[in-house]
Structure 1
Amino acid sequence: MTDGEERQTAAGASDSAGSAATSPDEVAAERRSQAELDRRNKLARLRAAGIDPFPHSYPTPTPAAEIAQRHTDLAPGGEDESVRYRVAGRLAARRGHGGAAFLDIVDRSGKIQVLARRDRLGEGSFETLVGLDLGDLVGVEGHVVRTRRGELSIAAHDWRLLAKSLRPPPEKYHGLEDVELRYRHRELDLIANAETRELFITRSRIVRAVRRWLDERGFIEVETPVLQPIYGGAHARPFVTHYNALDRDFYLRIATELYLKRLIVGGLERVYELGKDFRNEGLSHKHNPEFTMLEWYEAYADYRDIAAELEELVRYVAAEIGYAGPLRFDRPWRRVTLREAIAERTGLDVLALRDRDALLAAARARGIELEPAATWAQLVDDLLSKHVEPHLEQPTFIFDYPKELSPFAKDHRSQPGLVERFECFAGGIEFANAFTELNDPDEQRRRFEAQARERAAGDDEAQPWDEDFLRALEHGMPPTGGIGVGIDRLVMLLTGRRAIREVVLFPAMRPRG
């Protein structure tokens, strides 16, 4: 009986019995799709035949890609019985009839074909194997053959069911195209789309390359608290939770900056952390409230040293993964000041328009509408993010920000009113933010006071007061350069994706309906 015939028969039985369903189990069964009922019926038959549909292990399978690499010289029609392999993966396709069948098994590394023959496996084993459902997980042991058409295959000597799939695979492995379903149920996306599997393998390689580059340069990887009594290190609203044992609110961190700089005070000199940050903000193509951030801090460096290192790091990572896209990571990247960048796109000289109302009026005269209730600093940030950032395709550093935008950056050594800060952009998004770090505790205290005034005026993203951080600075922090690099956005750039949800395995999603 074919799968289609089995579904048709089971459907007729279900329809005829539907009106008699009375128990909760029967009602639940009627609500399942017919395909799921077929699979559960097959599960029962497998168990009745003494086959364990969920065994405990299947030791030492060899990745499909590794087998293919080992046997590139095997000619069509040839076979190699000198070694047996075990392969394990999901059943993706089935072809053939009579005494032989071809099965496609997919694992993380790719696909390999299995040749099943009735005369080798025996009647019962062969029929059970070819009767499995697409999506079932199966292990096969056998030797390598290459078909006359040139397809490398495993000639099955033995096999084992590793997990019975009780739901049909998406789109019969022809690709899962429902974007929302892909994001909500990433497991289905990974099953159906080889490109998605490769994307997240590439993401893992990017993270490994970043760590390797830092480790080889003497940086120490550390871990700092995710739950914090005071959040800080960025302009953002936090997620709030309640610590029952202490009976007080704590916050999911919005950045690792302040703790890492305390380690610089402690003498570690070169530290980095690669982990999750959380910001209670909206969703967009470049924002996910939970995201992966790399921050590193280096004693005796400044923001120009950090810029050179960022160029080197990204170029290294791009080479490690074989990047061949349109972005040019060869050094040097373009460098421009914030003042110049905004003037190029809008004609506005923001440093000559230091008064909020004057900047609003000048923008309006050029047809640029800004939020009338925003502070001067917020207006400048809006001009940068909405009128400059989307046009920065090739890697570009924007240097030298107003002090009002940067409460942790050191005053510019030659430009009053500015700080030594850069952001780095590519592909129309910002992916890195760096400072020559402020290490004067009295100036930092004054910056906190200014932030407190901003909070009192209604800016709920302003930096809260952190006395412990001030106490640490008072012990003396050496001149330091520091940077935050958005790993999700870096992955977007190096894989050619335009939405952050594509590169996060389980992105935040709005509720259904």
Structure 2
Amino acid sequence: MTTSVRDEARRLYGTFLKENPRERDLVLFKADLLRAVRGWLHTTGYTEVATPVLCQDRESAPIPQFATRHPLTGQGFHLKHSAEEHLRRLIISIDRVFDLGPAIRAEHEDAEHAIEFTMLQTAARDVTLADGMAMVANLVQSCVQTVFANLANPGADFTTIYEMPVDDAIAQALGTATAPEGANLVAAARDWLAARGMACDGGDWEVMEAFVKHGVEAAVTAPTLLHSFPYELRHNSRIDEKTGRAQRFSLIVGGVEICDGGVKLRTAADYRPMVDANIALREELHGVPADEGPLDFYADVDRDPADVFTFGLGLERLLAAVTGRSVADVLSFPFH
């Protein structure tokens, strides 16, 4: 049974599960998946840390965040979009950390996007991109095997998780022998979107994000780790001096990103230009007033700079991929 994003039968969620045993099984699968993920991380030397949901600083991505105020003091907070920056700060003292809990995002809800969902976020010191991707593949395969007793399931076959440089996927999407670079890549992405009647008049960041989602990721069906991104898609990942490519990866399954990460920038001086650009972009796109950036984050990462590999994995997206359902189908209490 597949439900719609706003299936009124799911408003009375307990009754819905009582009357639909197969839907109840999804709740149990999610619980088993959470246990399996935690077990794998503990075995691999990660320490669980609960990061705050109420955050004093905005996160550095160019996105709007939900905000609220303390009903007694009036102090303002931003609701957690990702735990990465809090975990990144802990790495100066603890070598491997993770948070497994709610993420709250200002999304337009649909079959694959939710306002509130379960996110695994990790950070590990002195892990290369290649070793980090191998860890992610091992985590996913181990947990799917543990919960479902089979890597080949109705939604996806995780027996093999492939690897592909993102340049190859970009070239395939554009129908070219090689991927364009720099301004030529952005121009080609605009043309690709325009040819398909999609919005293409935004800034470079908007255009590249839309092109990757609709042109690159949508064409990837088998579980695949896309890696080594061009500079225009670096986000907050370090550039490999030998290749000129960002040490970033995304795990795509059935055309949907379920995990993203990479080797991150080292120091506040590395982060500030990116964050300042994102603050300006956030103001331009969403009308969010400019601020000073995450000053406590800057101070902590400068205390002991290191190569840090992080990744975020959406638990509902993984469960949806395995079972052949939508994210909307596997949310608990979809009407909150």
TM-score normalised by the chain length of structure 2:
0.89
Q: Residue 208 of structure 2 corresponds to which residue in structure 1?
A: 380
Alpha-carbon distance in structure 1 between the residues aligned to 2:193 and 2:15: 49
Q: Residue 358 of structure 1 corresponds to which residue in structure 2?
A: 187
Note the aligned Cα RMSD (angstroms): 2.7
**Post-superposition CA distance 1:187-223 (Å, at most 9, x none):** 1111111111111111110110000001111111111
Q: Residue 217 of structure 2 corresponds to which residue in structure 1?
A: 389
> Which residue of 409, 428, 438 corresponds with 2:237?
409
Alpha-carbon distance in structure 2 between the residues aligned to 1:194 and 1:299: 43
Q: Residue 132 of structure 1 corresponds to which residue in structure 2?
A: none
Q: Residue 140 of structure 2 corresponds to which residue in structure 1?
A: 314
Structure with the larger strand share: 1
Q: Residue 479 of structure 1 corresponds to which residue in structure 2?
A: 307
> Which residue of 127, 130, 138 corresponds with 1:301?
127
> Which residue of 254, 275, 279 corresponds with 2:101?
275
Q: Residue 251 of structure 1 corresponds to which residue in structure 2?
A: 78
In structure 2, runs of 5+ residues without a counterpart are none
| Conserved 8 A contact 1:292-1:488 | yes
Which aligned pairs between 1:201-212 and structure 2 lie closer than 5 A?
201-212=28-39
> Which residue of 238, 252, 260 corresponds with 1:425?
252
| Conserved 8 A contact 2:62-2:279 | no
Q: Residue 77 of structure 1 corresponds to which residue in structure 2?
A: none
Q: Residue 337 of structure 1 corresponds to which residue in structure 2?
A: 165
Q: Residue 186 of structure 1 corresponds to which residue in structure 2?
A: 13
Change in 2 beyond 3 A, CA 1:413/1:185 = farther
Alpha-carbon distance in structure 2 between the residues aligned to 1:463 and 1:481: 28
- SS across alignment from 1:238: coil
Change in 2 beyond 3 A, CA 1:462/1:345 = farther
The aligned length equals: 330
Q: Residue 238 of structure 1 corresponds to which residue in structure 2?
A: 65
| Conserved 8 A contact 2:208-2:232 | no
Which aligned pairs between 1:488-503 and structure 2 lie closer than 5 A?
488-497=316-325, 499-503=326-330
Change in 2 beyond 3 A, CA 1:459/1:414 = farther
- SS across alignment from 2:69: strand
Alpha-carbon distance in structure 2 between the residues aligned to 1:176 and 1:339: 35
Q: Which amino acid aligns with 1:488?
A: E
Shift of residue 272, structure 1, vs aligned partner:
0.6
**Post-superposition CA distance 1:323-347 (Å, at most 9, x none):** 341533234x222222221220232
Alpha-carbon distance in structure 1 between the residues aligned to 2:200 and 2:3: 42
| Conserved 8 A contact 1:451-1:462 | no
**Post-superposition CA distance 1:172-199 (Å, at most 9, x none):** xxx9989713321111111111111111
Shift of residue 415, structure 1, vs aligned partner:
3.0
| Conserved 8 A contact 1:241-1:251 | yes
Q: Which of the pair has the greater relative contact order for Cα pairs under 8 Å at 6+ separation?
A: 2
Alpha-carbon distance in structure 1 between the residues aligned to 2:290 and 2:315: 23
- SS across alignment from 2:41: helix
Q: Residue 152 of structure 1 corresponds to which residue in structure 2?
A: none
Alpha-carbon distance in structure 1 between the residues aligned to 2:231 and 2:286: 16
Change in 2 beyond 3 A, CA 1:428/1:460 = farther
In structure 1, runs of 5+ residues without a counterpart are 1-174
Does 1:285 find its partner at 2:111? Answer: yes
Q: Residue 264 of structure 2 corresponds to which residue in structure 1?
A: 437
Shift of residue 284, structure 1, vs aligned partner:
1.2
Structure number with greater Rg is: 1
Q: Residue 220 of structure 1 corresponds to which residue in structure 2?
A: 47
| Conserved 8 A contact 1:336-1:398 | yes
Shift of residue 377, structure 1, vs aligned partner:
2.5
Change in 2 beyond 3 A, CA 1:176/1:190 = farther
Shift of residue 353, structure 1, vs aligned partner:
5.3
Alpha-carbon distance in structure 1 between the residues aligned to 2:124 and 2:131: 9
What is the percent sequence identity of the aligned residues? 25
Change in 2 beyond 3 A, CA 1:249/1:373 = farther
| Conserved 8 A contact 1:236-1:281 | no
Alpha-carbon distance in structure 1 between the residues aligned to 2:188 and 2:295: 35
Change in 2 beyond 3 A, CA 1:216/1:405 = same
| Conserved 8 A contact 2:186-2:208 | no
Shift of residue 446, structure 1, vs aligned partner:
2.1
Shift of residue 240, structure 1, vs aligned partner:
1.0
Change in 2 beyond 3 A, CA 1:250/1:392 = same
| Conserved 8 A contact 1:370-1:379 | no
TM-score normalised by the chain length of structure 1:
0.60
- SS across alignment from 1:202: helix
- SS across alignment from 1:306: helix
Alpha-carbon distance in structure 1 between the residues aligned to 2:298 and 2:234: 16
- SS across alignment from 1:381: helix
Shift of residue 350, structure 1, vs aligned partner:
5.7
- SS across alignment from 2:285: coil
